[in-house]
């Protein structure tokens, strides 16, 4: 971490440059050059970092949009085609993604919000809330495929079948840390005067939290839920052995169900052109969905309540 020009002190006697009229603090041309080169390098870094995103979005639009426009309604209303059959859509996968995400949210939102209420409202800074924060961080680092294996070992083995419920459980493991973190942030953003006011009017903890504090923190919690849903909608690995896949509509929550992400995986590695195209179209839908939701979530929190 040392510059090559560390030891070079001003060599010229007069730091005031008569030609340019600048007083240059004795910065030699070598040190200036080093700065210029480094500035150029970091700008190059930014360009390289932006390139893949641009490429991905461009290819998604190029390959996905044509298919979506070409058979516009049928992509959303038909079932996935078998190999070597033209046309087809992914209505069952759209339903499956919505259902598994919904089940994931139904589990993770109450757990996440109540946990955040404990760590911020009741156990501020105590051992348990520190432990919970640690576990939340560790949980958010658990590889998504492990969440899938966990749901397999617990739900699939127990129910004896792959199902939307197992998929939802796997997703909830990944969603909970996101919800806990954003809910904590939201609760912390409420000024202490509000809590003091609640004590002043004789409200119980339960009354205070449900009537005043939760509603005030709602934008943050909504942000957390939407971010968690955005992540869940794109997750594939946890669904591979829990929701599995289904060529047809699932008739109940207790049987294998197709999801957009697993459809993308299956059809992207398939050697059939029609299925590849369908994978691109599905990917475009998922990415558009996720990007809109993430941008929406951001605008929710930027609006300050207090």
Partner 1 sequence: MTSPTISNQETLIESSQKFHAPRLIDRIFYWLTVLLSVGIGAVLVWITYSLLSIAFPAIATFNLGFLFSQVWNPVQDLYGALPQIYGTIVSSIIALLFAVPLGVGVAVFLSEDFLPRRILTPIAFVIELLAAIPSVVYGMWGIFVFVPFILPLLQGIHNALGWIPFFSTPPSTRQMFATALVLAIMILPTIIAISRDSLISLPPQLRQGAYGLGATRWETIMQVLLPAGLSGIIGSVMLALGRALGETMAAAMLIGNANRVNVSLFAPASTISALIANQFGEASGLQRSALFYQALILMILTLIVNMLAEVIVSRFQQVE
The DSSP symbol for 81 reads: P
Among residues 4 and 73, whose Cβ is nearest to partner 1? 4
Given a contact cutoff of 8 angstroms between Cβ atoms, the answer to whether 97 and 246 are in contact is no
Among residues 73 and 235, whose Cβ is nearest to partner 1? 235
Provide the minimum distance between the beta carbon of 270 and partner 1 in the complex, in angstroms, as a whole number. 11
- For position 159 contacting partner 1 by CB under 8 A, the verdict is no
Which two tokens mark 106? 């139904």
CB atoms within 10 A of CB 43: 10
CB atoms within 10 A of CB 240: 23
Given a contact cutoff of 8 angstroms between Cβ atoms, the answer to whether 180 and 136 are in contact is yes
From the list 74-82, 98-106, 138-146, 216-224, the region that binds partner 1 by CB under 8 A is: 138-146
- For position 235 contacting partner 1 by CB under 8 A, the verdict is yes
Among residues 69 and 128, whose Cβ is nearest to partner 1? 128
Q: How far apart are the C-alpha atoms of 205 and 81, rounded to whole Å? A: 55
- For position 202 contacting partner 1 by CB under 8 A, the verdict is yes
Among 18, 19, 46, 84, binds partner 1 (CB under 8 A): 46
- For position 142 contacting partner 1 by CB under 8 A, the verdict is yes
Provide the minimum distance between the beta carbon of 251 and partner 1 in the complex, in angstroms, as a whole number. 22
Q: How far apart are the C-alpha atoms of 152 and 234, rounded to whole Å? A: 19
Which residues in 238-297 contact partner 1 (CB under 8 A)? 240-241, 261, 264-265, 268-269, 276, 279-280, 283, 286-287, 290-291, 294
Provide the minimum distance between the beta carbon of 167 and partner 1 in the complex, in angstroms, as a whole number. 15
- For position 115 contacting partner 1 by CB under 8 A, the verdict is yes
Q: How far is CA 129 from the centre of its chain?
A: 24
Residues in the chain: 306
- Cβ contacts of residue 67 below 8 Å, gap of 6+? 75, 277, 278, 280, 281
Among residues 2 and 252, whose Cβ is nearest to partner 1? 2
Which residues in 58-77 contact partner 1 (CB under 8 A)? 59-60, 63
């Amino acid at each position: 971490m040392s510059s090559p020009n560390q030891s070079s002190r001003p060599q010229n006697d007069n730091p005031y440059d008569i030609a340019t009229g600048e007083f240059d603090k004795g910065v030699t041309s070598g040190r200036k050059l080093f700065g210029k080169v480094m500035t150029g390098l970091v700008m190059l870094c930014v360009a390289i970092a932006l390139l893949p995103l641009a490429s991905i979005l461009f290819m998604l639009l190029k390959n996905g949009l044509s298919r979506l426009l070409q058979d516009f309604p049928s992509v959303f209303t038909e079932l996935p085609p078998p190999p070597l059959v033209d046309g087809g859509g992914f209505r069952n996968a759209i339903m499956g993604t919505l259902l598994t995400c919904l089940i994931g949210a139904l589990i993770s939102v109450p757990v996440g919000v109540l946990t955040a209420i404990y760590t911020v409202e009741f156990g501020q800074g105590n051992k348990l809330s520190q432990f919970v924060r640690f576990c939340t961080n560790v949980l958010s680092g658990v590889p998504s495929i492990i969440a899938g294996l966990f749901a397999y070992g617990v739900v699939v083995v127990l129910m004896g079948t792959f199902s939307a419920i197992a998929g939802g459980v796997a997703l909830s493991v990944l969603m909970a840390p996101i919800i806990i973190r954003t809910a904590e942030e939201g609760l912390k953003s409420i000024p202490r005067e509000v809590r003091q006011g609640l004590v002043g009017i004789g409200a119980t903890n339960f009354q205070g939290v449900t009537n005043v504090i939760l509603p005030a923190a709602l934008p943050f919690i909504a942000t957390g839920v939407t971010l968690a849903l955005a992540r869940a909608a794109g997750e594939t690995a946890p669904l591979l052995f829990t929701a599995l896949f289904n060529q047809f509509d699932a008739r109940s929550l207790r049987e294998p169900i197709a999801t957009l992400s697993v459809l993308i995986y299956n059809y992207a590695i398939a050697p059939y052109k029609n299925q590849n195209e369908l994978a691109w179209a599905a990917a475009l839908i998922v990415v558009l969905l996720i990007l809109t939701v993430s941008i929406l979530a951001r605008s929710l929190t930027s609006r300050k309540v207090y």
